Amino acid sequence: MRSLPLLLSAALLMAGSPVFAQWMWLDKDGRKVFSDRAPPPEVPAKSILKQPGMPTRAAADAPGAGDAASGARSDAPETAKPAGKSQLDKAVEERKRQAEAAEADKKKADEARIASQKADNCARARQSMATLQSGIRLAQVNENGERIILDDNARSAEASRAQATIDADCR
d(Cα 88, Cα 25) in Å, to the nearest integer?
13
When pLDDT is cut at 50, 70 and 90, the band that residue 143 belongs to is very high
User: Tens digits of per-residue pLDDT, 22-49?
Assistant: 888 888 888 888 888 888 888 888 888 8
Check pLDDT > 90 for residue 7: no
Helix axes of 83-134 and 152-169: crossing angle, nearest 10 degrees = 150
Percent of the chain with pLDDT over 90: 39
Strand boundaries in the chain, DSSP class E: 23-26, 32-35, 48-50, 139-141, 147-149
| Beta bridge partners of residue 50, listed in sequence order | 24
Nearest C-alpha neighbor of 52 from the set 22, 29, 82, 27: 22
Other beta carbons less than 10 A from residue 10's beta carbon: 11
Check pLDDT > 80 for residue 150: yes
d(Cα 78, Cα 143) in Å, to the nearest integer?
79
Burial label for 25, CB within 10 Å (0-12, 13-18, 19+), is: buried
User: Tens digits of per-residue pLDDT, 43-96?
Assistant: 888 888 888 876 555 544 544 444 444 444 444 444 444 555 688 888 899 999
Under 8 Å CB-to-CB from 10, ≥6 apart: which residues? none
Do the strands 139-141 and 32-35 form a parallel or antiparallel pair, or are they unpaired?
unpaired
pTM: 0.42
